[in-house]
């Protein structure tokens, strides 16, 4: 493919780990001579640039799209973005996920399948270990220290491999079954449990009206716009339980008990013992 290549890098990153991976992708793609346009699906500003319609009218050389893994799946904003893409563009695509060391589930396969069904060619993929987003209070969290320099190194390796494929003008896709790395019976069980179904079992939050100043920070850091005020914060059904509202509240007015969740996370990490922790597909 002649001329300068432009990549779209689209992601949702409540805790910042997926944004970190997107940044390594951006920097590496630029070092190779390409240009990048980024879209953070969790930001209130810049929602329309790039918009899905541009995939047809001004297609990039490649679409990198990233998500954290929540309950074995990509987060809803990412799948909604893919769902809104036009069909039949043939644009090369690279899904990537960050996971917190418990289980990366079927997230990569979900994304790869959805992109393939849109008529895109999945030319690469990555899963990258990150500190578990529910364990920021823990002195020894699952995924501690990740993404690290080793993770960054394999991300750069993936981008270089994708860039080389783009240079051929007809980049070869990867086999989608490669992204289904858990046994079929395990994947089947993971597929039955969605974030929506898991919500009743996730830690609840309580707002202390004596501490809440209605500053609005919780709403600003919510990646899905799920928080309204009446007069104190209320959470609607679009909440993805990222707990940014708890983490970022300057008054500690939104509280939750994550101790039970931490226990289950450690048990799940031991149960699956997923290896390798970070992996690329080319």
Q: Domain holding 35: CATH number?
A: 3.40.50.360
178 & 47 share domain: yes
Provide mean pLDDT across the span 11-26.
97
Q: In this model, does residue 122 exceed pLDDT 80?
A: yes
Q: Are residues 180 and 229 in the same domain?
A: no
Residue 214 resides in a domain: yes
For residue 57, what pLDDT is reported? 67
- pLDDT at position 60 is 84
pLDDT for the residue 96: 99
Inform me whether the pLDDT recorded for 234 exceeds 50: yes
Over residues 75-101, the mean pLDDT reads 95
What does the pLDDT average to over 260-272?
95
The secondary structure element, H or E, covering residue 175 is none
Total domains in the chain come to 2
Residues 88 and 121 reside in one and the same domain: yes
Decide if 129 is inside a domain.
yes
Residues 41 and 167 in one domain: yes
269 belongs to a structural domain: no
pLDDT band at 44 (very low <50, low <70, confident <90, very high): low
Q: How far apart are CA 161 and CA 152, in angstroms?
A: 14
Comparing C-alpha atoms, which of 181, 180, 189, 156 is closest to residue 276? 181
How confident is the model over 213-230, as pLDDT tens digits? 999 999 999 999 999 999
Q: Which CATH number does the domain housing residue 240 bear?
A: 3.30.70.20
Percent of the chain whose pLDDT exceeds 90:
88
For 88, the token pair is: 């039949």
Is the same domain home to 96 and 12? yes
In a domain, 97, yes or no: yes
Residues 96 and 211 in one domain: no
pTM over 0.75: yes
Residues 6+ apart with CB under 8 A from 229: 214, 216, 219
Average pLDDT over residues 59-74: 95
With respect to residue 264, please indicate whether it lies within any of the assigned structural domains. no
Check residue 42 and give its pLDDT: 86
pLDDT at 51: 64
For residue 137, give both structure tokens. Answer: 């209070």
Write out the residue range of the structural domain in which residue 149 sits.
6-184+277-281
């Amino acid at each position: 493919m002649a001329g300068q290549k432009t990549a779209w890098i689209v992601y949702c990153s409540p805790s910042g780990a997926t944004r970190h991976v997107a940044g390594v992708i951006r920097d590496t793609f630029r070092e190779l001579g390409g240009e990048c346009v980024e879209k953070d699906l969790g930001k209130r500003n810049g929602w329309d640039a790039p918009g899905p319609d541009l995939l047809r009218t001004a297609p990039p050389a490649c679409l990198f799209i990233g998500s954290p893994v929540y309950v074995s799946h990509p987060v809803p904003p990412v799948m909604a973005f893919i769902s809104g893409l036009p069909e039949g563009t043939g644009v090369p695509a690279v899904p990537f996920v960050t996971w917190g060391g418990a289980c990366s589930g079927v997230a990569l396969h979900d994304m790869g399948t959805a992109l393939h069904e849109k008529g895109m060619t999945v030319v690469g993929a990555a899963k990258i270990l990150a500190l578990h987003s529910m364990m920021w209070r823990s002195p020894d969290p699952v995924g501690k220290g990740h993404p690290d320099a080793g993770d960054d190194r394999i991300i750069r390796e993936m981008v270089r491999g994708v860039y080389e494929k783009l240079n051929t003008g007809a980049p070869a896709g990867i086999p989608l079954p490669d992204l289904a790395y858990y046994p079929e019976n395990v994947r089947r069980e993971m597929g039955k449990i969605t974030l929506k179904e898991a919500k009743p079992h996730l830690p609840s939050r309580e707002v202390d009206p004596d501490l809440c100043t209605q500053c609005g920070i919780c709403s600003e850091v919510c990646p899905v716009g799920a928080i309204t005020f009446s007069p104190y914060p209320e959470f609607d059904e679009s909440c993805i339980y990222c707990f940014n509202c708890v983490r970022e509240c300057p008054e500690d007015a939104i509280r939750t008990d994550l101790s039970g969740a931490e226990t289950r996370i450690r048990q799940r990490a031991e149960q699956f013992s997923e290896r390798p922790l970070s992996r690329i597909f080319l």
